[in-house]
Chains A and B, each alone.
Chain A
Amino acid sequence: MPIEDFQRQTGWLLKPEGACRAGVCIPLPPLQATVDVGVLAERLGMGVVHDERHGLWALGPSTVSGRALESADAPDFALPDFDGRPFRFGSLRGRKVVLVAWASW
């Protein structure tokens, strides 16, 4: 997988010192232009799931902290609003934010 894709999809930045996110860095083998997802998933404790019929793979979140949160720093993310426009959560820095998950089901 290209490094850029891995970084964008997982939020982990691949640096010379390793895979880094929220102030935590996990050492890695020397970087190439592409990354071996199997090796990264192992180091970061990510579940890897395969759907043979549809030729799909999915990577779960890392589990290096043993908790759902990596640290108390809020992870940044972007999700679309109801008109399909992307909204970046980190753009609210400077305000107190109550993030509320709900559902229609």
Chain B
Amino acid sequence: MWQELRAELHDDGLEVVTVALDAAGPEAARPWIERARPEHPALIDEHHRLDELFGIVNVPSGVWVDEAGVIVRPPEPAFAARPHWDEGIDGDATEYQRRTLALEEQLLVEDEKYVAAVRDWARHGADSRYVLGPDEVMARSRPRGRAGSEAAAHFELGAHLQRQGHAADAVGHFRAAHRLQPENWTYKCQAWSFVDPHLGPSAEYDTDWAGEVERTGVEAYYPPLDM
């Protein structure tokens, strides 16, 4: 998806960098990378450092950085195409999987709007109406206090312990990260994924994907693009 858009706009001076937030390491995301065959940098971020650095809380999220290294759009939902939510769902799907699919189909996906904005920026640069000034970028940057910082530190310890084979000891740190920064979906989904590939209910966590999306509402998961 990103590969096509990148190929189209590379001559206009646009580059795409995709970063997989995957604490399970590169093997988890490798099948997608091999299918997409990107010509652009495709990186792996085992500690979800982009959350710390840019205030990302869900995927897919896009950040625009101009030629001078200045952010001209802070994180927002970034779809290059409509996802196939039903991929992998067949007649054997559990009730939880069907409930998940029903919620996914309600999520706001503004792929056409986002791609049109990227094209406009690639072609018009600083004159694009989608470019935001530094004050607006900061105003839109997610608020962060001490609790958000502690959440990131707990997540880092959890991811480290998980990778070192101490899955049971990682759970407490992941739970702390969820409590301290409840709006961060990458911390939640990552932790759930280690105990259930469908991010469903588990003994380790008293939350799961469908339950949390129902509780917060689908608008909180992918808010509308402000552009």
Contact = CB atoms under 8 A, between A and B. Distances in A.
Interface residues of A, number: 49
Interface in A53-90: 53-54, 56, 58-63, 65-69, 71-77, 79-82, 84, 87, 89-90
A74 B153 contact: no
B149 A46 contact: yes
B149 to A, nearest CB: 3
A1 interface: no
Interface string A23-56: 0000000000000000000000111110101101
Contacts, number: 230
Interface string B60-94: 11111111111110110010100000000000000
A82 B151 contact: no
Nearest to B157: A58
Given A72-B138, A100-B19, A102-B21, A93 B2 contact: no
A76 B70 CA distance: 11
B65 A97 contact: yes
Interface stretch (B46-54, B102-110, B211-219): B46-54
Given A65-B138, A100-B61, A77 B166 contact: no
Interface in B1-52: 2, 12-22, 24, 26, 28-33, 41-45, 49-50, 52
B27 to A, nearest CB: 9
Interface string A2-35: 0000000000000000000000000000000000
Looking at chain A's contact residues, the main secondary structure is: loop
Contacts of B138: 65, 67, 69, 71-72
B161 A60 contact: no
Q: Pick from B22, B60, B63 the residue with the most CB of A within 10 Å.
A: B63
Contacts of B45: 79, 101
B53 A97 contact: no
Interface of B: 2, 12-22, 24, 26, 28-33, 41-45, 49-50, 52-56, 59-72, 74-75, 78, 80, 118, 121-122, 125, 133-134, 137-138, 141-154, 156-157, 160-161, 166, 169, 173, 176, 186, 189-190, 192-193, 199
Given A63-B149, A92-B41, A100-B19, 5 more contacts: A60-B150, A74-B65, A80-B44, A102-B21, A102-B60
Ranked nearest first, the 3 interchain pairs of A and B with the lowest CB-CB distance are A68-B55, A47-B150, A60-B149
